[in-house]
A and B are shown apart, each in its own frame.
Chain A
């Protein structure tokens, strides 16, 4: 037997193998399949839609105000004669974009603070008290406050929402850091001189990735809902921007006569949130059956 063959025989299953097994288990989960389908559909729409839609989502054609859905205007037109379908497609892009950024940023920052407070004992209580304080503001209110300070722009929405979800993410990472830190083999690694960073990288992060991923999926869903709410309140991306919340806010006064303006973006938001929630349910059941609390 050659050395290579020996290695193959004695090695534990590779991460590639484990990832494959995990994927199979995920796709056996019904919620995950449905959520994945919905999310994939929206991602495709948001990515390729703008390439296919010819109409400018902000172009006003006063001749075509309040046209109901037709072959020409799939979702009708709004009070300025803008094509709602085109606005819907660009709105999808913006919503998913914001959701993704919020999930990524709050994930990174939350992980940083979680590891910091779970690993560096000295500042644990300070960091966690700040997190508790941040947690005291309902996310949407915190976002309103931060947004008020930064001005109504896409990036301030992203920052505002990310900040409000950091504490929950940080708590999850800290919890697993606290557990992992005390494990025998981690203690052994520490004694044998492994650096703090290495322990974080090799032991703490891999152990928190499951619950973290579940959490971030729910954050994604909340961020989409929160962004829409902010836009609706007039504190989101400024009006000409085609965001789902903006379209609904503008269509609100004509909700009875021109129902199509606010109907489709509402369905879009619901679907996006539903898809992410289902994905999160599936991930939670498969990755971390013990984790019960979302959000």
Chain B
């Protein structure tokens, strides 16, 4: 098992390296002189020259890449052009907001999506299945930002139950924190719930068709135990394979949700960075997101080892 984990970690190293190179190359995609683009219209030649030097743009490409990787290895992602901050500190400052949002959203997504999928699979072809799958389908079809606006109109403007925007840190109390985040977290969860429910349903149907389910019934196991002990644990193994993708959806969605609900998180930072042509910041945050995703995938793989006895031995 330890060997498998080590192997998995080693496997991640080249991917991390390629992510770093891809993030670096993104800057090279800029048409024309990046320094001119970044400085904006009407910039003085000195300002342009300053940017060029700060970003090592005056050096050959390979040299630039080398410097980029070297700095990266030291935890240095460069500095923002606009914020007078390093990329790392800019992200670190906003990370608690995004993590809070992601955590609450995930806590809603996982039980809701799995329940919906299990119920639909178990009540296959009944009205319950139809309703559950219609809900899931709507979840993966309705755009997040649109539902976010509609939700604000209903719950914040009309009913006045929840704040429409802004973030309250956890240090100011659990309830205010939760109140500020619950609406965006639910809105953010909708797509993932739909995805997870559809996924769980088909995995569950697969499992329910297997011979060992019939064996359990033949032993006299009652239906609820067949479902939750025999079928569900096997379903979970299949569902685990998409956990990484769920995270990816979550991160992508949080960019939009943070924008609508004016939450000062990392997603909002990226959008701001793009709009103000703060390319080092775009590059740095993308890279961090990529790294986080790889780490999450390693974590799910290790989880897999724990849940699935077949992988554990072989």
Residues of A within 8 A of B (CB): 129-130, 132-142, 144-151, 221, 225, 228-229, 232-235, 245, 248, 252, 255-256, 259, 262, 266, 269-271, 273-274, 277-278, 292-295
Are A229 and B143 closer than 8 Å at their CB atoms?
yes
Are A292 and B202 closer than 8 Å at their CB atoms?
yes
- For the residues of B in contact with A, the DSSP-based class is helix
Q: Which residues of A contact B277 (CB under 8 A)?
A: 148
Q: With an 8 A cutoff between CB atoms, is B22 at the interface?
A: yes
- For the residues of A in contact with B, the DSSP-based class is helix
What are some 22 contacts across the A-B interface (CB < 8 A)? A129-B15, A133-B19, A133-B290, A136-B289, A137-B286, A138-B289, A141-B251, A141-B255, A144-B282, A147-B274, A151-B31, A228-B145, A229-B144, A235-B275, A270-B141, A270-B143, A270-B146, A273-B141, A277-B140, A292-B206, A295-B195, A295-B245
User: How many angstroms between the C-alpha atoms of A266 and B150 in the bound complex?
Assistant: 10
Q: Which residues of B contact A132 (CB under 8 A)?
A: 15, 18
User: How many angstroms between the C-alpha atoms of A135 and B153 in the bound complex?
Assistant: 35
Q: Which residues of A contact B275 (CB under 8 A)?
A: 234-235
Q: Which residues of B contact A149 (CB under 8 A)?
A: 26-27, 29-30, 279
Q: With an 8 A cutoff between CB atoms, is B104 at the interface?
A: no
Residues of B within 8 A of A (CB): 14-15, 18-19, 22-23, 26-27, 29-31, 137-138, 140-146, 149-150, 152-153, 157, 195, 198-199, 202-203, 206, 238, 241-242, 245, 248-249, 251-253, 255-256, 259, 270-271, 273-275, 277, 279, 282-283, 286, 289-291, 293-294, 297
Q: Which residues of B contact A294 (CB under 8 A)?
A: 195, 198-199
Q: Which residues of A contact B256 (CB under 8 A)?
A: 140, 229, 232-233
Are B146 and A266 closer than 8 Å at their CB atoms?
yes
Q: Which residues of A contact B30 (CB under 8 A)?
A: 149
Q: Which residue of A lies closest to B29 (CB)?
A: A149
Are A293 and B241 closer than 8 Å at their CB atoms?
yes
Are B141 and A274 closer than 8 Å at their CB atoms?
yes
